[in-house]
Structure formats: C-alpha cells, structure tokens
Amino acid sequence: MPAFDLIIRNGRLATASDSYVADIGIRDGRIVAIGEALAGAEEVIDATGKLVLPGGIDSHVHISQPSGPGIVMADDFESATRAAAFGGNSTVMPYCLQQKGQSLRAALSDYHALALGNCHVDHSFHLIVSDPTESVLGQELPALFADGYTSFKVFMTYEGMALDDYEMLSVLEVAREAGALVQIHAENYDAIRFLTDRLERAGKTAPHFHGRSRPIPVEREATHRAISLAELIDVPIMIVHVSNREAMEEIRRAQARGLKVMGETCPQYLVLTEADMERTGMEGAKYVCSPPPRDLASQQACWEGLQQGVFSVFSSDHCPFRYEDEAGKLAPKGRSSFRWVPNGIPGIETRLPILFSEGVVKGRISLERFVALTATNHARIYGLPNKGSIAVGYDADIAIWDPELKRPIRQADLHHGVDYTPYEDLEITGWPVSLLVRGRLVVRDGMLSDTTKLGRHLQRTRPLV
C-alpha cells in the first residue's frame, strides 16, 4: 500500500510565517508529511511554479438567510459553497439568524437542515442574537457554547435586529462567562433612521442616497460605543466590516490601550467607492451594502489596517441578492426608496483573488500576511482546530494557486447564484486553480471534480483571542 493517498509535489508552500518549496503528503484527509522528494502515492499533483496555500476560511458569509418580506437570498448552501470552493476556500462560516420570538436551537436546526448534504466545503455557524430573552441569555447561549457554537453576532442597527445598549451589555456579559467571541455590526440605528427620514422627505430616494443615510460618523460612533461597552464587561469583541479611517482608528486606539478589540474589513472597502452607487437608474443598487463603500482615502485606511495588524481578518460579508429580480435588488419597494433596497453584495468567490492581486501582487502585503488574513487568523480566532495552516496533522485543506494567471473578474465565469458581480472587469493577477477539502480534490484545474458535497459542519473550541 502506498504511503500516501496524494502527494502535492514541488509547489511553493506558504503559511502565516514562512514560504518554501516542498512536497506535501496526504493520507486519510490529513497532511502527514512535508518534505523533499516524497514518494509512494496513489496520485501525484505537480505544483511546480504554483503556490500551495491553506484553503481560505471565510468567517463572514450569509447564506439562505431570511431577509424581509418578498426578498430571497440568491444562494443556497450548494451554490454558495460551490462558489466558495472555486474562490479557494475550504471552510465558510455562515450566520444562523434567530428571528424575533424564535429559540436559537430552532433557528440552528433549520439551518442545519438546509446545509446537510449540500456543502462542497466545510462550514461552521455563528449565531445572530436578535432577541436576547432571559432564556436565551440564561440557558440557550451557555448550552450552545458547550456544543461548539462559540461565537455570535449582534447588530446595533436594522429593524428587528438592533439591540439597545442594555441588551448589548447583557449579551457581552454572557459571552464573558462562556468565553465566547462576540462580533458586532457597528452602526447607529437611530441616526440612520433619522437621516433616512430626512432624505426621503427631500425626495432623495435613489440608491446612492443609501450612503448618505449612514455616513462615517454613524459607524465611528457605534464602533466607539461597542468598544466602550466591551470594556465595561472586559470581554473580547470583533468589529466586523470596518469601512473607513475613523472606525479603524477607534479600534487601533483600543488595541493600544490593551483592550481585546479586533477588526475585520472586506473587499468592498478596498476596491469600491460611493461613486459606484451613483450609477444611473437602479444600477447603483448593485453596490448597496452596509456600511457602504466610502472614498479613496477610506480605501487607503483599510489597507493600513490590514498592513499594520489593526485588522486580523479579511472576510467577504457575502450577502447575495440577484439584481434582475423582484425578490432581489429590483424589489418594487426598493424603487420607491433606497431604504427598501436589500442590503448586501456577493463576494464569496472573489475575496481571495482581490486581496491577492491588489495586496500581494501590488506589494501592499506579504504572501505570509495574506495567509494570516484569509485563513490562519480565522481558524485561531474562531476556534477551528487543525484548520487554516499547512502543518503535519492538520486537515488537508489546500488551495493551489497560479500566481501568474491574469484574468479579469467576469460574472460569466463565477459560480454563485447571483446574476452580477460588483467587481465586473476588475483585472486580477493570481487565481486559485485547484482546491482540496480534507484531502478531497473538489476543484481541479478550474473544474468541479467532486460532486459528493461531503463538506461537514465543524464544532468549534474556545476562541483564541
């Protein structure tokens, strides 16, 4: 019997700390050897001239999430995880949304039923707590932490989701006791409602006024408040999808004071601006997400946050709605006001190529930092053992990249359930070409090579923050 099921030969391996040319030996879905001239395998992949990276972990994606009356997300677990695989990701972390009045257990069993048997890559749920009742705080959350759901998200905005400060403190207190990590969507709900009302009264209802309804101070204030509330409880937090300098600087100051405040940013804040929302007619709706894309100076600030370690993770915030669809961006109510345009843009397949091309190829970040920001830090921070790096004993979650392959992003080439990409025609150098999930070659040379959908749900350990 050969020593290995598979050898990946002669590629340049990269981890969060090093890169070097070596062979990888894989057996039973795990990396069992890294060395020179490994031999004895059923199959050998020649990776000469390629990069061999840990499969990406996207710790911020929305799949099949209820999104309001008449609105339907464009991806189910099959299409979202297929797109994730083609984008070089071996694990995704979708949200399980608790609706008002619903128990978290009930919400989870709904999502598990949707995911079961439909995932091309591994997945692990974060919980969204929208209704922190006594039983949720006292019984459900502690029991779910014990079962490996060790992170959850709270919103400071959105009708039906926003928590007030008292509720935020209550949730943070439970997280502290359990050792869980809280992700926070930081925007000031009342300020957005106020500005939205004023804009609508003035007849300013086109999609791009979405940006004017939630300018930078809205995000900065909520970021500062979230940090202050976490400081009161003495608990780590992750501020998700940071879009601009002022919010980034709030996080940096908190870190300088020794607080365990982490930050995340996303592709839309590196390559889109508010000008994209100003396209004619309803076209701008394709770029409506929250926080909104800002300006070039904000893009620069987000790069600084990535370069200087203020942000520890780079995620997609994939939140897919079709454009030519009354259940998506062209919902009839959305034509009457930006207030009703579904919030969110797709990005699960393009996250890694955008950061690689704009970051590594253009010399803004090193290859090692790319690996940390897209895989290793996600595994560590969210408690995914044996994921997010290339090391003996780790799961054989591996993306093989062609660092020279030049091709623009084109909707026609993507695999998600959405009918557009906000990054159409963006020139990219460097694409993932093959992907292994626990040793299974799911994508091979740009083709889906394994349709068994054996991606599984991952129980998590205590976050390492």
Q: Which is nearer to Zn ion, 14 or 381 (CB)?
A: 381
Please report how close the Cβ of residue 99 comes to Zn ion at its closest, in angstroms.
16
* DSSP classification of residue 284: G
CA distance 212 to 210: 5
Which has the closest alpha carbon to 344: 60, 124, 102, 107? Answer: 60
CB 155 within 8 A of CB 128: yes
Q: Which is nearer to Zn ion, 38 or 161 (CB)?
A: 161
Contact between 58 and Zn ion per CB under 5 A: no
CA distance 296 to 222: 22
Q: Which is nearer to Zn ion, 61 or 398 (CB)?
A: 61
Q: Which is nearer to Zn ion, 342 or 430 (CB)?
A: 342
Contact between 317 and Zn ion per CB under 5 A: yes
Q: Which is nearer to Zn ion, 60 or 460 (CB)?
A: 60
Cα–Cα distances in Å, from 51 out to 209, 388, 413?
A: 42, 15, 22
Take residue 370 and report the two structure tokens written for it: 């790319």
Please report how close the Cβ of residue 128 comes to Zn ion at its closest, in angstroms.
9
CA distance 356 to 348: 14
In angstroms, what is the C-alpha Rg of the chain? 21
Q: Which is nearer to Zn ion, 219 or 317 (CB)?
A: 317
User: Measured in whole angstroms, how far is the alpha carbon of residue 117 from the centre of its chain?
Assistant: 22
Q: Which is nearer to Zn ion, 250 or 317 (CB)?
A: 317
Please report how close the Cβ of residue 78 comes to Zn ion at its closest, in angstroms.
20
Please report how close the Cβ of residue 85 comes to Zn ion at its closest, in angstroms.
21
Take residue 274 and report the two structure tokens written for it: 């508010």
Which has the closest alpha carbon to 318: 292, 297, 293, 349? Answer: 349
CB atoms within 10 A of CB 1: 5
Please report how close the Cβ of residue 258 comes to Zn ion at its closest, in angstroms.
28
Q: Which is nearer to Zn ion, 62 or 415 (CB)?
A: 62
Q: Which is nearer to Zn ion, 94 or 359 (CB)?
A: 94
Cα–Cα distances in Å, from 144 out to 61, 97, 134, 178, 328?
A: 20, 14, 15, 10, 33
CA distance 45 to 92: 25
Stretch touching Zn ion by CB under 5 A, among 98-106, 171-179, 258-266, 310-318: 310-318
CB 19 within 8 A of CB 13: yes
Stretch touching Zn ion by CB under 5 A, among 164-172, 316-324, 370-378, 400-408: 316-324
CB 242 within 8 A of CB 265: yes
Stretch touching Zn ion by CB under 5 A, among 120-128, 312-320, 407-415, 432-440: 312-320
216-233 helix and 245-256 helix, angle to the nearest 10 degrees: 20
Q: Which is nearer to Zn ion, 317 or 349 (CB)?
A: 317
CA distance 394 to 397: 8
189-201 helix and 216-233 helix, angle to the nearest 10 degrees: 160
Stretch touching Zn ion by CB under 5 A, among 243-251, 311-319, 364-372, 423-431: 311-319
Q: Which is nearer to Zn ion, 23 or 317 (CB)?
A: 317
- From residue 259 to residue 278, the character string flagging contacts with Zn ion as x (rule: CB under 5 A) and all else as - is --------------------
Please report how close the Cβ of residue 115 comes to Zn ion at its closest, in angstroms.
18
Residues 136-155 that bind Zn ion (CB under 5 A): none
Please report how close the Cβ of residue 267 comes to Zn ion at its closest, in angstroms.
13
* DSSP classification of residue 412: G
CA distance 355 to 313: 12
Count of residues near Zn ion by CB under 5 A? 1
Contact between 395 and Zn ion per CB under 5 A: no
Residue nearest to Zn ion (CB): 317
CA distance 200 to 365: 42
Please report how close the Cβ of residue 317 comes to Zn ion at its closest, in angstroms.
4
Please report how close the Cβ of residue 69 comes to Zn ion at its closest, in angstroms.
20
Please report how close the Cβ of residue 318 comes to Zn ion at its closest, in angstroms.
8
Please report how close the Cβ of residue 173 comes to Zn ion at its closest, in angstroms.
24
Stretch touching Zn ion by CB under 5 A, among 78-86, 313-321, 331-339, 442-450: 313-321
Chain positions contacting Zn ion, by CB under 5 A:
317
